Amino acid sequence: MSGAQLAARRVWGLVYRHLALYRRSWPRLIELMYWPVLQMLVWGFVTAYLAGVQQNTGTVAAGVLLGGVLLWEVALRSQMGFALSFLEEVWSRNLGHLFVSPLRPRELVAGLVVMSTLRMLVGVLPAVGLAWLLYGFGLFALGPVVVLFFAALMMMGWAVALGVTALILRHGAGAEPLAWSVLFGLTPFACVFYPVSTLPVPLQWVASALPAAHVFEGMRAAVLEGRVETGHLLAAFALDGLWLLLLGRVFLGQFEAARRSGALSNIGE
Partner 1 sequence: MRNDPVIQAEGLTKRYGDTTAVEGLSFRLPRGATWGLLGGNGAGKSTTIAMLLGLLVPSAGRVTVLGHDMARDRFAALARMNFSSPYVALPHKLSVAENLRVYAHLYGVARAERRIAELAAELHLEDILERPAGQLSAGQKTRVALAKSLINEPELLLLDEPTASLDPDTGDWVRGWLERYRARSGCAILLASHNMAEVERLCGHVLMMKRGQLVAEGSPAELVSGFGRDNLEDVFLDIARGRQAGGEAAA
* CA distance linking residue 211 with residue 81, whole number of Å: 19
DSSP 53-89: HTTTTTHHHHHHHHHHHHHHHHHHHHHHHHHHHHHHH
Cβ proximity to partner 1: between 114 and 146 the closer is 114
Q: Is the Cβ–Cβ distance between 47 and 146 less than 8 Å?
A: no
Among 76, 90, 103, 160, contact with partner 1 (rule: CB under 8 A): 103
* CA distance linking residue 201 with residue 244, whole number of Å: 26
Fill in the per-residue mask, 82 to 101: x = in contact with partner 1 (CB under 8 A), - = not in contact: ------x---xxx-xxxxxx
- CA 92 to chain centroid, in Å, comes to 23
Q: Is 106 in the site for partner 1 (CB under 8 A)?
A: no
Cβ proximity to partner 1: between 7 and 41 the closer is 7
- Count of residues in the chain: 269
CB of 96: closest distance to partner 1 in angstroms?
4
By CB under 8 A, what part of segment 237-256 binds partner 1?
A: 256
Cβ proximity to partner 1: between 47 and 165 the closer is 165
Contacting residues toward partner 1, per CB under 8 A? 1, 6, 9-10, 12-14, 16-17, 20-21, 24-25, 88, 92-94, 96-104, 256, 259-262, 264-265
